[in-house]
């Protein structure tokens, strides 16, 4: 199920990475799965499950509850809002739209972090996170497509 794939990707994103000169950083790889299923099969990954994935990410990253959950739900709603346009796009166009939506989500997270902490985090943190997630999107999109085909075969 997409929820368990998302759960696995949340845990994968928590593997300690030291990217010089940046400190330990976690990556929300699960946004690729959320985006994919919001566009191609929103029935199997609904907004409640997306919110639960976000809460789990919040617990693992020790951020205030709702931080990642809000961003994940925001990404899900943006993708479902434009689903009728996105479903007909070729992969390269969809990848660009994912990058744009994830950029909006990253900016939202940076603003929320500012509201919570009262200070701006270095843009290097958000930039590295953005680049890694966007570059790994094709792999997680392929994995989600494989899972989606299996789900459709069972139904």
Residue-by-residue DSSP string for 82-146: THHHHTTS-HHHHHHHHHHHHHHHHHHHHHHHHHHHSSPPPHHHHHHHHHHHHHHHHHHHHHHHH
The structure tokens listed for 37 are 């299923």
Residue 21: asked if its preceding bond is cis (omega within 30°), the reply is yes
What is the tens place of the pLDDT at every residue in 116-155?
Answer: 888 877 777 778 888 888 999 999 999 999 988 888 787 7
Quote the CA–CA distance of 155 and 141 in Å, as a whole number.
21
> What confidence category does residue 20 fall into, taking pLDDT thresholds of 50, 70 and 90?
very low
Percent of the chain beyond pLDDT 70?
A: 93
Give me the residue label for tokens 């994830």. Answer: 102
13 or 101, which is more confident: 101
């Amino acid at each position: 199920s997409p929820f368990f794939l998302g759960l696995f990707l949340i845990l994968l994103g928590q593997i300690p990475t030291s990217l010089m000169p940046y400190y330990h950083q976690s990556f929300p790889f699960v946004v690729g799965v959320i985006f994919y299923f919001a566009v191609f099969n929103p029935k199997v990954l609904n907004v409640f499950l997306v919110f639960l994935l976000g809460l789990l990410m919040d617990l693992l990253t020790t951020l205030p509850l709702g931080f990642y959950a809000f961003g994940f739900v925001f990404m899900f709603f943006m993708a479902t809002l434009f689903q009728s346009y996105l479903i007909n796009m070729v992969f390269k166009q969809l990848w660009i739209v994912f990058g744009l939506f994830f950029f909006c989500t990253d900016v939202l997270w940076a603003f929320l972090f500012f509201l919570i902490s009262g200070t701006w985090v270095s843009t290097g943190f958000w930039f590295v996170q953005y680049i890694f997630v966007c570059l790994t999107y094709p792999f997680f999109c392929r994995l989600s497509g494989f899972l989606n085909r299996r789900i459709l075969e069972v139904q």
